[in-house]
Chains A and B, each alone.
Chain A
Amino acid sequence: MIDIVINITLLAFLAITSVAILRMTNLFAIVMLFGIFSLLSAGLFVVMDAPDVAFTEAAVGAGISTVLMLATLALVKRRQKPYYDEAPHDAHRPWLPMIVVAVTGSALVYGTWDIPAFGAPDAPAQTHVARYYIENAMPDTGVPNIVTAVLASYRGFDTLGEVTVIFTAAVAVLLLIGGRRPKPPVKTKDEGKQDEA
Chain B
Amino acid sequence: MRPNLILHVVAKFVIPLIILFALYVQFHGDFGPGGGFQAGVIFSAAFILYALVFGLDTAEKIIPPHWLRILAALGVVIYAGVGMESLLLGGNYLDYTLLGSNQIAGQHLGILLVELGVGITVAAAMLILFFAFAGRGRD
A contact residues, total (Cβ < 8 Å) = 43
- A149 on the B face (CB < 8 A): yes
Kindly state the separation between the CA atoms of A67 and B52 in the bound complex, as whole angstroms.
Answer: 10
A59-B41, A60-B41, A75-B136 are known contacts. Are A163 and B107 too (CB-CB below 8 A)?
Answer: no
* Interface window among A15-23, A104-112, A124-132, A153-161: A153-161
User: B41 to A63, Cβ gap below 8 A?
Assistant: yes
Q: How far is the CB of A13 from chain B (nearest CB, A)?
A: 23
Instruction: Tell me the nearest residue of chain B to A59, going by C-beta.
Output: B41
Kindly state the separation between the CA atoms of A55 and B42 in the bound complex, as whole angstroms.
Answer: 10
Kindly state the separation between the CA atoms of A122 and B33 in the bound complex, as whole angstroms.
Answer: 26
User: A167 to B125, Cβ gap below 8 A?
Assistant: yes
Which of A74, A75, A151 lies at the interface centre, i.e. has the most chain B CB atoms within 10 A of its CB? A151
Instruction: Tell me the nearest residue of chain A to B35, going by C-beta.
Output: A148
User: B38 to A56, Cβ gap below 8 A?
Assistant: yes
Mask of A126-146 contacts with B, CB within 8 angstroms, 1/0: 000000000000001111110
Indicate the size class of the contact surface on chain B. Answer: 35 or more
User: B48 to A67, Cβ gap below 8 A?
Assistant: yes
Kindly state the separation between the CA atoms of A160 and B78 in the bound complex, as whole angstroms.
Answer: 10
The residues of A that contact B122 with a CB separation of less than 8 Å are: 163, 166
User: A143 to B72, Cβ gap below 8 A?
Assistant: no
Kindly state the separation between the CA atoms of A60 and B45 in the bound complex, as whole angstroms.
Answer: 9
A59-B38, A160-B83, A170-B125 are known contacts. Are A71 and B139 too (CB-CB below 8 A)?
Answer: no
The 8 Å CB contact of B69, one of A151, A152, A174, A181, is A174
A148-B34, A159-B118 known; 17 new pairs, CB 8 Å cut-off, are A56-B38, A64-B41, A67-B52, A72-B133, A141-B104, A141-B111, A143-B111, A144-B30, A145-B30, A148-B35, A152-B115, A153-B96, A157-B93, A157-B94, A160-B83, A169-B129, A181-B136
27 A-B residue pairs with CB within 8 Å: A55-B33, A56-B37, A59-B45, A60-B41, A63-B41, A63-B48, A74-B137, A75-B136, A143-B31, A143-B111, A147-B33, A148-B111, A151-B35, A152-B36, A152-B115, A153-B107, A159-B79, A163-B117, A163-B121, A167-B72, A167-B76, A170-B124, A171-B72, A173-B129, A174-B132, A177-B132, A178-B132
